[in-house]
Amino acid sequence: MSPNAVKYVIISPVRDEEANLARTIESVINQSVRPCEWMIVNDGSTDRTAAIADSYALQHDWIRVCHRDNRGFRKAGGGVVDAFNDGYRNLRAKDWDFIVKLDGDLSFSPEYFQSCFRAFEAEEKLGIAGGTIYNVINGQAIPEVCPAFHVRGATKIYRRACWDAIGGFWPAPGWDTMDEVKAQMLGWATRTLSELQVLHHRPTGKNDGTWGAGFKNGRANYICGYHPLFMLLKCAKRLREKPYLIQSAALFWGFISGYLQRVRQVDDRATIKYLRRQQLSRLLGEKTIWR
């Protein structure tokens, strides 16, 4: 299928994004290949996010807005999935080829989606892809480093057959890892498109601080069922990164406290087993989803 003929839909869960949402909307409006429908889900914002989204929806009939009540707090992982699922249920378009989960604090070139779909066209088994996230910090664009198989949750594009196969998102922290692991287990390829730049204007974890971001990461790893040995070595590796000790300790406590508090893990033993096998293979220097 030609990238110019692709039918795709976007769902954007957004909360308190008045500083960035218009920039993201303008990026999508200016795309060389526009979506057939874009559902912006206002997840209980207390600023002007709702008004900004509504004003653009009045100007473009392919932009729609779904408003959710304010729950009073940010719900890590599960909140964004709940909001996404509300948008998914309210989609009018049914014959799409790709579905996109897109954050409301991004900007990208007019050819971004067309370039993504060229990558999908060139690789039949590519199930999940997206551009490289560059965090805008003090006016500078700094690329995020992540495993090649991992596509950041801020911009994920799913081929429909892959989306149907994985069965959507797990409603908890770690959803944006488990989707890829399950896709890989089922024979799909997942990868970040290194040549495509996406600017992230509100860096991940900015509102959480060093400890909070590390804790959330560790808790997400626990929920995903990471192998304890792999996690221990991951924490040890972080000891070499600034700020020393704090990030590693937060990561470890987020993980181990999941066991102590008996937090529910992903209810998919086959995927967890596959992930742990991949992690142990990586420790042994064998070929894995990491390379």
Whether 134 contacts 141, CB under 8 Å: yes
Which phi and psi angles does 39 have, rounded to 5°? -100, 110
Report whether pLDDT(157) > 70.
Answer: yes
The residue among 5 and 94 whose pLDDT is bigger is 94
Q: What is the pLDDT of residues 9-41, one digit of tens each?
A: 999 999 999 999 999 999 999 999 999 999 999
- pLDDT digit string, tens, across residues 98-146: 999 999 999 999 999 999 999 999 999 999 999 999 998 888 889 988 8
Global pTM reads 0.92
Band (pLDDT 50/70/90 cuts) for residue 242 is confident
Q: Please report, for residues 59, 94, 114, 127, the alpha-carbon distance to residue 165 in angstroms, rounded to integers and kept in the order given.
A: 35, 17, 24, 10
Confidence of residue 229 (pLDDT cuts 50, 70, 90): very high
Q: Per-residue pLDDT tens for 254-272?
A: 999 999 999 999 889 999 9
Read off the pLDDT of residues 56-73 as tens digits, 9 standing for 90 and up: 999 999 999 999 998 766
Which tokens sit at 83?
A: 């909001």
